[in-house]
Structures are given as structure tokens and as C-alpha cells.
Amino acid sequence: MDNIEAIRGTKDILPKKVIYWQYLEKTASEILTKAAYQEIRTPIFEQTPLFERGIGEATDVVGKEMYTFTDRGDRSITLRPEGTAGVVRSYIQNKLFASGGVERLWYSGAMFRYERPQAGRQRQFHQIGLELLGSKAARADVEVIAIATDILKALGLKNLSLQLNSVGSKEDRQTYRQALLDYLTPYKDNLDSDSQDRLSRNPLRILDSKDKKTQEIAQNAPSILDYLGDDSRHHFDKVCTLLSDLSIPYELNPRLVRGLDYYTHTAFEIISGDLGAQATVCGGGRYDGLVSQLGGVETPAVGWAIGMERLILLLEKLQPLSPQTPDIYFVSRGEKAENYALVIAQNLRHSGYKVELDLSGSNFLKQFKRSDRSGAKICLVLGESEVEQGMIQVKNLENSEQKTVSQDKLLEILTQLIN
């Protein structure tokens, strides 16, 4: 009989790795909180049309990557492939706009996409994301980008680059799309086959094709930045200026195209030079049309998401984090002593110590070996004789000093030894 294993593209995050996750979550939530963002938790599954309408039916994410199933009530349900649609749905449903001003929200959690797993890409993966709803100011775009760079900096990451583009308004994109088609169509036969398909479906994507020939052709293609209307142009210029004011370096990348339909104007990615092909660590942008598209009142918004697995790959290369060790390792032998040790351990925990109780029942030698391996500073020893005399032995594992003390004095002695 074969053992049951985790589903393809999913991973257990074992205790050794969890430390990195906790570190990342703590760092991010502190920075988000400082910027007045509040955490929101939305369901992991939603009605399928939310994503179809929100992300766009023509996108790959919706077209071929969603975990969609019919539930027992015959409803079409989808495991969320990204976080924004759910947050926006919640924003509309709970009338969060009623508070008048802007709404600053962040989330973290599992997302699901049916893709071929590879380094930095799983079927169940995790994102930390942020959404700023209700402001169309360029300052909002920059605030959001600055928070992302702050988080990455606080984590100590290097070799990152912020790629910046504007995909303009819907109208801008229409005119640009036509201009691009006019340019590319004569070269149609020289494009790679994927790009030929995209000519009709999504010509903007051709720009970041990895095919050599296509790249050469795309080299001289018109740039979207030349097709921005006055408002879009002005907005984008301001974003650039403000980023410079904050000394946040960026690279203009007119070929940066985001794969989800809801993006407008500012689009950005933060990519790492230390990952493989899946190098985008953070991606986001403005999505002014999404709230109304999902049935809310016209609300401008910006946001991003960070791929946590990818970040953790980078963190692991930086500094190794070691797991928590107990302050005290508790050795006991003999039934009375064992039972009483449980009581003392509980009291010590209530007093704030991290206590690991040896439950093996094996001889002292083995228990001491384990105490050494546990990484604890102090070893407590309780045996038959100590129980009878109301005493306990306190051993300092760092210098091997050991003394027998009265159980009433234990806390006192421990405060002297620890810290």
C-alpha cells in the first residue's frame, strides 16, 4: 500500500522553515501597521464569477490555472488564485467605502493555481498583499511601492530591482494596441509561434517574449509610454518624481506588462537577480476599474502582492535562522519524581520560562544526553531522593556547575542563572 503524500505542488512547511515564515510575517506586519494598513482575512474560496469578472476571462490565470469545482449545492466555486478580487469583493459587500476616506488593507494567505511546479512556483503558494482603495493620487502609488521596498530592505535582501511602467488608461491602451499591431503585423511570419497567437489575443505580451528573434523585432516597437494620454502621462511622471524624492531607485521598463486584466496606469515588479526564471518577488500596480467592474462605485485603487515562497528562498540564502531552544530541560526519574516534575514544569512555564520536559522515562545518562542536544542553558534534575527531601538539582549546562536547592528557592535561583 502506497503512503499518502502531499498533493503535487504543495509543501509542508516544517518547523525548521517555519522560523523564516514567522520572521517574514512579523517584519511585514510591523511595517504595514506603521503605515496604517489593517489586516483583512477573506475566504479562501469564492464564487467563480468573481475571478472571471475581476481578473479577466481571457487571462491564463482564469483560463487554465484555476482550481474550480462544483459544490454540493451546484454552485461553481474557485480556490482563490490571487488576493485582490476577494478583498475588493469584501470592500464592496461590507461597504468599507462608507468610512469616506481611503481604506488601507493588507492580507496574507494561501493562493492556488494549477501550474507546473518549479523552483519558486507551487500550486498552493502564499502571498502577502496590500490594497489601498479610494485614492487616485500618485502619492498612493508611491506609498504602496515604498512599503514594499521597506519590507524587502528590512529583511536584508539585496540584488533587487524595481521595474516600473505605466499601462495607461483603457483608452490609452486601445490606441497603443493598434499602434503595436500596425508595427508587428508586417513581421508576423518572423515571430515565434506563441507570439503569433498573441497577435490577436494579447499583443502587449509579445513585448516580453523570450524568443530571440521576437525580441529583436520588439526592440524597435513603439513604446506604450509614448501613447499615454495627458492625464496618464502626468500621473506617471509624478510617480517617478516622488519615487526619486524618496530615493527609491527604479528602472523604466516599457515592456513590463501585467497578466491580470484589471491593471491600469502604474505597473511595477520587483525582481531578484538571485532567483531562477521565476524572479518576480513582488508585483502590483493600479487598478482603477476593478471596483466598479465588480459592482461597486467607481473607486481608484493600487496594490501589490509579494510571493512568500520566493522571498523565503532568498532569506534562506542570507542568514540562517535557528529554531527556538528551551531555557530549561527537565530530567526526572521514578514515578513520583516524574509526576511532580510535570507540576514544576507547568509552574515554571507560568513564570515565563520555556521548559522542555523529558518524557522518555529512560535512565539519567540518556536524559542528560538529550538535555545537551536540546540547546537549553539549564538542566533541572528531579529523582527519588530529591522528591523525598523537597530539593531539586539545578545544573548549568554551559559550565557544568550543579547545585542542589530547595524547591521553594528554585525560581530565585533560575532568575539569577537565566539572563
Partner RNA sequence: GCGAGCGUAGCCAAGUGGUUAAGGCGGUGGUUUGUGGUACCAUUAUUCGUGGGUUCGAGCCCCAUCGUUCGCCCCA
Q: Is 172 in the site for RNA (CB under 7 A)?
A: no
44-63 residues near RNA, rule: CB under 7 A: 59-61
- The residue among 181 and 241 lying less far from RNA, judged by its C-beta, is 181
Q: Is 344 in the site for RNA (CB under 7 A)?
A: no
- Distance (Å, whole) CA 50 – CA 89: 8
- Which grid cell sits at 81? 488564485
Q: Considering only residues 134, 168, 203, 283, which one is a binding residue for RNA as defined by CB under 7 A? A: 283
Q: Is 333 in the site for RNA (CB under 7 A)?
A: yes
SS3 content of the chain, % helix, strand, coil (to 5): 45, 20, 35
Amino acid at 139: R
**Adjacency order of strands within the sheet including 67-70:** 45-47, 76-79, 67-70
Q: Considering only residues 33, 70, 94, 118, which one is a binding residue for RNA as defined by CB under 7 A? A: 118
Closest CA to 207 of 251, 257, 171: 257
Q: Considering only residues 53, 80, 89, 113, which one is a binding residue for RNA as defined by CB under 7 A? A: 113
Quick one: which segment of 120-128, 168-176, 181-189, 233-241 binds RNA (CB under 7 A)? 120-128
Closest CA to 57 of 261, 201, 234, 255: 261
Quick one: which segment of 34-42, 100-108, 122-130, 338-346 binds RNA (CB under 7 A)? 122-130
Quick one: which segment of 4-12, 28-36, 243-251, 346-354 binds RNA (CB under 7 A)? 4-12
Phi, psi of 33 (to 5 degrees): -65, -40
Q: Considering only residues 226, 372, 408, 412, which one is a binding residue for RNA as defined by CB under 7 A? A: 372
Quick one: which segment of 170-178, 247-255, 269-277, 291-299 binds RNA (CB under 7 A)? 269-277
Residue 38 Cβ, how far from RNA at the closest point, in Å?
Answer: 21
- The residue among 121 and 238 lying less far from RNA, judged by its C-beta, is 121
For residue 131, give every residue at least 6 positions away whose Cβ sits within 8 Å of its Cβ, in sequence order, or none: 84, 87, 88, 91, 103, 104, 105, 106, 301, 302, 303
- The residue among 16 and 234 lying less far from RNA, judged by its C-beta, is 16
Closest CA to 161 of 248, 221, 83: 248
Residue 304 Cβ, how far from RNA at the closest point, in Å?
Answer: 7
Q: Is 286 in the site for RNA (CB under 7 A)?
A: no
Q: Is 335 in the site for RNA (CB under 7 A)?
A: no
CA dihedral 215, 267, 10, 114 (to 10 degrees): -70
**Adjacency order of strands within the sheet including 103-112:** 38-39, 103-112, 124-133, 301-307, 280-286, 264-272, 160-166, 251-252
> CB neighbours (10 Å) of residue 326?
17
Number of residues that bind RNA (CB under 7 A): 72
Q: Is 266 in the site for RNA (CB under 7 A)?
A: no
16-45 residues near RNA, rule: CB under 7 A: none
- Distance (Å, whole) CA 62 – CA 172: 24
Q: Is 281 in the site for RNA (CB under 7 A)?
A: yes
Q: Is 358 in the site for RNA (CB under 7 A)?
A: no
Q: Considering only residues 79, 133, 395, 414, which one is a binding residue for RNA as defined by CB under 7 A? A: 395
Q: Is 356 in the site for RNA (CB under 7 A)?
A: no
